Amino acid sequence: MGQVSSKKNEGKYAKEYNQNDRNNNKEQTRINKNLTKYEKNETYLTISVIDAHKFIEGRRFCIAKDVTYTFPNDNQEASRFNESIKLMKQLFNSNYSAPVEKLLSHGAKVLEIGTGGGFWLADMSKTFPMSIFLGLDISTTFHQECLPENCAFLEYNYFEEIPFPENTFDYVFQQSISSSKFRDNQLDIHLREIFRVVKPGGWIEIFGTPTEIINAGPASKEFIKLVRKCYQFNGLDPSIVHAYPNKLRSLNIKKVQVVETQYYLSHHNTISENKESSLLLATAESLRVMIKMAVGYTDEEYDAILRGMAIEQKTLNMSVRCIRIFGQKESNFT
């Protein structure tokens, strides 16, 4: 009888377990259906390293939906990116140009888009310990454990959307939104997303460089020609940087201002005399793979251009334009 009773209880418990399991499944289904679009879109947060990247000639490139970035996504590129951000800090005498110092000193929520090697994120969070900083990029190329306690990093495909509710941030800084990233229709969508997540009265700032070298020699002119062809091959507009101010104004951003400075590539320029002077050649090296694929150059042909650029950098007063555009979201805008 004990065995029969035990079997009956097992059957009872099994029925109860199955019923509870079905109820749990129904509840989970209900929860899944109620997830917001940001919580549901985990494709690029959970994708494996193997699927998320493609290695071409020893350089790692990010593979994600709608991503048109022509630069590699590896440690070498992260180092080059950090050096360029440090140089911009020197050129502009600050990590930012928008009038946000008081805001950041008292405590604000800041989003950096296109974190790259993480220098801007870490440096700003140390400078303004009362504020909270969040970096956003499609891939991680730095050690997050080295970040200060008042900042964090989220790996997410921001080419599709910015995964935060409306009116979240007091200040958004978009790094290197140059010709190498967004097609025109993508840029419009992205700027609307930035506008959406900025609080009324908050600030938006964008950094970009036109695809040109002033006073370029023959080799440098040929390099720029190749870069423009590479961008066009990928559906990118080499001159899109010039459209940023009007694009911000079209979003009802007020107080739109443009701050511009020139980075002189000559070795004789005081700000360029050390490792910064190699940034032009480092940038050319980062674009080697994509330019070869788009234009059909051989390594020998490309190396010849780089040698010519190195000579011109020593002998010509060449420069590139570095531009920051910023503006404020109207406080009464709904």
In this predicted model, what pLDDT tens digit does every residue of 10-68 receive, in sequence order? 444 344 434 444 444 443 333 233 333 333 333 333 334 445 568 888 887 877 666 66
- 146-150, 155-159, 176-180, 230-234: which range is least confident on average? 176-180
Mean residue pLDDT of the chain comes to 80
Give the Å distances, CA to CA, from 293 to 47, 74, 227.
26, 19, 12
User: How far is 299 from 305, CA to CA, in rounded Å?
Assistant: 10
Cα angle vertex 105, ends 101, 110, to 5°?
75
Q: Look up residue 200 and give its two tokens.
A: 């009324």
How many beta carbons lie within 10 A of that of residue 304, not counting itself? 14
Q: Specify the DSSP class assigned to residue 164.
A: S
Percent of the chain whose predicted confidence (pLDDT) is above 90? 46
- Could you tell me if 240 and 184 are in contact, meaning their C-beta atoms sit under 8 angstroms apart? yes
Write the single-letter amino acid at 166.
Answer: E
Cβ atoms 136, 115 nearer than 8 A: yes
List of residues 6+ apart from 273 with CB closer than 8 A: 267
Count CB atoms within 10 A of the CB of residue 52. 20
198-208/169-174 β-pairing: parallel
Burial 106-121 (b: 16+ CB within 10 A, else e): eebbbbbbbbbbbbbb
> Does residue 100 register a pLDDT over 70?
yes
pLDDT at 10: 40
Q: How confident is the model at residue 150 (pLDDT cuts 50, 70, 90)?
A: very high
Q: What does the DSSP 8-state code read for residue 84?
A: H
